[in-house]
Every structure is written in structure tokens, then in C-alpha cells.
Amino acid sequence: MKKALYPLLLAAVSAAGVSAAVPVYLDPDAPLDARVEDALSRMTLEEKVAMCHAQSKFSSPGVPRLGIPEIWMSDGPHGVRAEINWNDWGHAGWTNDSVTAFPALTALAATWNPEMSALYGKNVGEEARYREKDVLLGPGVNIYRTPLNGRNFEYMGEDPYLASVMAVPYVRELQKNGVAACVKHFALNNQEKWRGNINVNVSDRALYEIYLPAFKAAVQDGGAWSIMGAYNKVWNQHCCHNHRLLEDILRGEWGFDGVVITDWGGAHDTREAALNGLDIEMGSFTNGLTSESEFTYDDYFLADPFLELIRKGEVPESVADDKARRILRLIFRTAMNTRKPFGSLHSPEHYAAAKAIGDESIVLLKNNGILPLDPARGMRVLVVGDNAVRRLTDGGGSSELKVKDYISPLEAMREVFGADRVEFARGYAAGRPMYERVDTIPQALQDSLRAEAVAKAADADVVVVFGGLNKNAWQDCESTDRESYDLPFGQNELIEALVSVNPNVVVANITGNAYAMPWAARVPAVLHASYLGTMGGASLADVVSGRVNPSGKLPYSIPVRLQDCGAHAFGTDSYPGVESAEGDVLFGVCAPQQTYAEDILVGYRWHDTKKIPARYAFGHGLSYTTFAYGKPAISARELRAGGSLTVTVPVTNTGAREGSEVVQMYVGDDKASVLRPAKELKAFEKITLAPGETREVTFTVTPDMLAFFDADAHAWRTEPGAFTLYVGTSSADTPARAKFRLVE
């Protein structure tokens, strides 16, 4: 356990009779910058440099001589990771580090509810604070570019506006606990294949319009205290010491005053790390997760090699001063914050929060009326699928969690429908939870499990399939991308076989990604859930039974085919990239080059602009009730610089039960001098309506919503002309429309 030394320092000073005065840096009432400068003035060069690199797998040094404590970090995209050994990746074996598993961030994004994001940040922050963590490595806000990205489940979808709105409350509420958010992975970490050295070529326009907004919002609106650099390269320079990303954009344009931390093993060069904006180097000389370092922490790029450059006069000491300033600021905000709350761990309130977020995140993609299933009917339910019983907090790399409790879908279905009415057949085998390797499953075993499930399905009243992906390698997992857009383990064949003997098949897949659905026309209902954590089974069973009315909306498009996705429309140059002759000693592979050829047309922007319909559109999600959109009323037909207008749309619950709807507003430029998407999300609001209730939803439109990034001028620009407002229930379903003109 770490010990904060500074409370003991005053007593020691007093006992020694040195001085009765309290040093400024120890005074919590002194201005932050005054505390930082006072502490910095007392530090040696060696102490400043020591703060810039790890001292263990998940901590970096403080200044023991001055009573300034170390910084303790934890992986935490959707829960605080179990304690790891000091100098290897083994679990420490503690008995008091079990936590609440909150839903994955792609589930949070699917709620389309900033209140859920605030609830998430507050509760995960309380667990991190109780576990004495100073930095929680999350949230992730990289954009969902391809369904093959193994880490999409850690992020917040394909739209920069949605990701921005959802990231800010998370960061704010997390940091109220005295725990720093470390927003990741900055930037363009949009795939895991070749993640350590792939070089991304992207236009400035796509960078500023698509890939940077969520980071900017987390920094400027959320006030994030730290940022994690990405593994990949951009403009032939690694992101963890990329001058343009870290110095020009992050600090220069956005005014970031926090700490830049590497992803584990993300530093590659001492001089670049020193001069290009990196503050704390973690995990060097490993691949970030598995291999044990053969070096000491003093061998890190920002350790003795950095100190040597300063002593030789090749790097000024002011560089170390700047890094130490930022690190001290982080320490005073977290480890030396004497007024932070105490936190709590896997409390009833945390379980309730996880359940509420999970409830709102489940997306009803299709329903011919079979759902909800009424438990009072006494039906015989067959539950099929490995994910019905698999603990989906295991695996995934850094997102693995040691949970105190976990409610599986099968357990919850038996609780809701009656244990004697619910039978189970696994249907397929998925192998043990592992990282960077998988079990080989004999085909004879898969055939046998499928045959068993089909035989039982013939006698059931209804079949509920809990399949999808899991957090093993080459699925939803750090360091590997998916190898296919299809569901693994023969699930497509399984679903087809089940439908052939029983037409009442409900598919309730659990996944952090889109996937092919060749059986979609044959099944009567499809539910789409992400990894929902501790309370996930309860959320799924409650939606299936109708205790909870689904209100989730897709945070990403689900293409019919992989090639319908913009990232896959230009060959291997665009994804996964093309290997070059240049080698990389650390990661042992050649350095691939990649061009984001779809440019700004990511996700629904591609589908709508190119008129390639998705199977299920961004923003889509049904309910057990229905909603009707009325005629929009626009406050003005002209919008001028500095002004605004409003659009008001009546929304009515036309069904028989209370439900929630996400009203979405998109804007399209009818005629532009540059390529623009058919429409872009600019506002949304989640409302709850009783049967027959109507509510008017009003959105305000300002000129900045209409701007595009002019790369030549390096500025946002608007063009006068006609625009259309699209209001509706998804990017492909916008029945309420209104036109206006932007005038000079």
C-alpha cells in the first residue's frame, strides 16, 4: 500500500526544531501554482528527472525527501483493475481489490444520456479513490473507424459530437473524487493491428473534424488533468512524443495544463520525449502488457539518458522544470489533495449505477412483436450461447477486471422466468479467456454443441441466444483486431439451425462491435448489448421480459458488409495499412503505412453521403412503445453571424407504455464548395414520455455548428447558403425537416 508522507512532514520538522513555518507547497490553501513553484524550487535536478518515468508497473516517483508522494495509476476503462505486482505483470493476489464492473464505454455511449455519463464518472471515481489510485487510465474517446478494431468497446462510438458530449461529464465527476482522468489514446489509435508503429496519414480536415473534438472537449470542457499518448505514429512520429500533437495542438491550441503519460511502452526516443511534450514514461521495453522488462527503470528514455542530455547541455534544465511543474500540479490535485472524499467500493449504490447504465444502453434493433416475453405466461425458454454463462469481465487486455459479483444472463433469466422454465444449451464453445492466443476448438465439439441446442430448441416455446463476441484475442481485445466481420465459432450457422426448428428465436448478442447478420431477415427480434459488467445479466433479462423498456441507440453504424464501411472501401492502403521495408526493433515488425482515404466520411457520414445504407443506422434503436414526430417549427429562416435560431419538434408517445426516446438533430449543407457529409449530428436530447404524452423538444442552432475546417487557413470556416435541419430517431430516419439560410 502506498503511504502519503506529507502529513508526517510537519511533525518531523517541528520535532527537529528546524522551522515553525509551513512550506508553501504543503499549504492546501495556497494557490496551486504557488505550491508548484515552491516545491520545484526545493528539488534537485535528479529529483525532477526521477518524476518523469515509472518506478514500478503502475507508479511513478514523488519526492520522498520533501514528503511529496508518488503517483499511483490503474487501468480503468470500466472499472479499477486488480493490483499488479511491482515489477511484473502478474496479479498481486490481494484479497481486497475486487471491484464493480461498470458497462464498457461503448455501452455508455449507447445510452445517449449525459446524466448516465456523470453517474458513471462519479461511481468509478469513488472506487478508484477507495483503492488509492491517483490516475484512472480512461476514458477512451478514439473514434470508431472500422468494426474490426479490437478496442472499439473501450471507446464512445463513431461520431465526434456524441463522444464529446458523453466524455465531459465522465471526466468532471471522476475528478471530483481527486482522481485524474487520463483521456486516451491521443490520437488516431483506431486499430490494434500493428498498433506499436503503424504510421497514420490523415488530412488536417479529418483530424480536426472527426478525430480531435472529443479530446478537445475532455480537455477544455471537462478539465482533464492527464492525457495518454497513443502507440501509433502520425506524420512519421510516435504519438507519445509527437511535437505537433502534444506541443502545437494539445498545449498550444487547447491550453492543456496537465500531464502527458505514455501508453505502456509508447516511448521510443529520449530526445523526442524530452523536447516534444511527454511528461511521464511508463512501461518502456515491454509490449505494454505481457513481457517482463530486462532493463531497469533508470534505463528508461526519460531516466538516466534524459539526465545525461541535460548534464551535457544538449537539453536545457528548463525542460525538466516544465515537466516537473506539470507533474507536481497533478500530484497536488490528486495524491496531495487533502480535501478529496474517501470513496467507496462495490457498494449497493455502485451496483445500482451499473444497472441503470446497462438498462439504458441495450439497443433493440428489430422486433416483430415477440418481445417483451411475459414471464406470467409460463413459457418454456431455452437459453443458448456461451455468453449466457461466460464472465465477460475476463480477458481484453488492460480492461480485465477482478469483480466481486457478476450476474450472468442465464442466472438472471432463471430468476425472472423461473428456474424450472429455463433450460440451457451452450450451442458453441469459445475457449478460455486468454490474451494474444486462443484455444483451438475441435470442430466435432462445435458440431455436438450445436446439435444439442437445436434438439432442445424444437421443444421450447422461445429460444433466446446470448452470443456475440467476447474479450479474447482477435475479438474485442487489446493488441489484436478481429480477423472477420462474421460472428466467430459458427454462430451464424447455429442461429440459422435454431430458426429452422423454432421460428421464435430472439438473438441478444453481446459485443463491443458491429458484425454481419446474414440471418437478420429470419429472426423475429434482435437485441444488441455491449459488455455490461457486474449487473449485465440483470439488465438483459429485464429488457427481454419487459421490466425495462429498451431505450439505447447505436453509437456506431452496423454495415451490411464490411466493404460497406468507408475504412474498407479503398483496399489495404486504408486498412490495415501496407508494410514497408523499415523495421522496428522494439515491436519486431516492419513499420506499415496507412492512409485514411475516406477522410471525413466516417461511419454514417459515409453511408449517408455515398448512399450505401447500413443494416442498422447510427442512432437507431427501437422501444416497446412507439413515437411520432410532428411538424418542426423554426424560429427564423435566416441565420447571421453571432446569432442563433431554434427548431422545435413535437414528439408523441403513440404506444401503450412509458418509454424514452433520443431526439436527434442533424445539419446538412445543401451546397458547399468542399466535400461535406450529407448530414452531421449537432444536438440530441433523451426524453421520457407517458402513453399519449407529447413534448416539444427545442434545439438551438448557431453558426459554429455549420462550420468546416479549412486546412489551408488552419481555421474553422462557414459558407453562406442553404442548410437543412434533420430531426428524428437515427441518421437514416429524420422525418422532421426544416430549411434555413446562413447569410453574411
Query: Which of 266, 298, 285 lies closest to 182 in space, CA to CA?
Result: 266
Cell numbers at 674, concatenated: 468542399
The letter for the amino acid at 733 is D
- CA–CA separation, 220 and 222 (whole Å): 6
Cell numbers at 371, concatenated: 418481445
Q: Which of 263, 394, 564, 608 is catalytic?
A: 263
Residue 15 buriedness (CB in 10 A; 0-12 / 13-18 / 19+): exposed
Please name the residues in contact with 253: beta carbons below 8 A apart, sequence gap of 6 or more. Answer: none
What are 309-314's contacts with CB under 8 Å, separation 24+? 309/270, 309/271, 309/274, 310/45, 310/49, 314/271
The letter for the amino acid at 290 is T
Output the DSSP codes for 319-354. HHHHHHHHHHHHHHHTTT-TTS----SS-HHHHHHH
Cell numbers at 14, concatenated: 517541528
DSSP E strand boundaries for 641-744 = 645-653, 659-669, 680-689, 694-701, 708-710, 715-717, 721-728, 736-743
- CA–CA separation, 361 and 108 (whole Å): 6
Query: CA–CA distance from 364 to each of 83, 101, 143, 523 (Å)?
Result: 37, 23, 23, 13
Question: CA end-to-end span of the chain, whole Å?
Answer: 62
38 part of the active site: no
Q: Is 526 left (phi over 0), alpha (psi -120 to 50) or beta?
A: beta
- CA–CA separation, 383 and 477 (whole Å): 26
Please name the residues in contact with 125: beta carbons below 8 A apart, sequence gap of 6 or more. Answer: 136, 173, 174, 175, 176, 177, 179, 343
Residue 631 buriedness (CB in 10 A; 0-12 / 13-18 / 19+): exposed
- CA–CA separation, 604 and 611 (whole Å): 10
Catalytic residues: 263
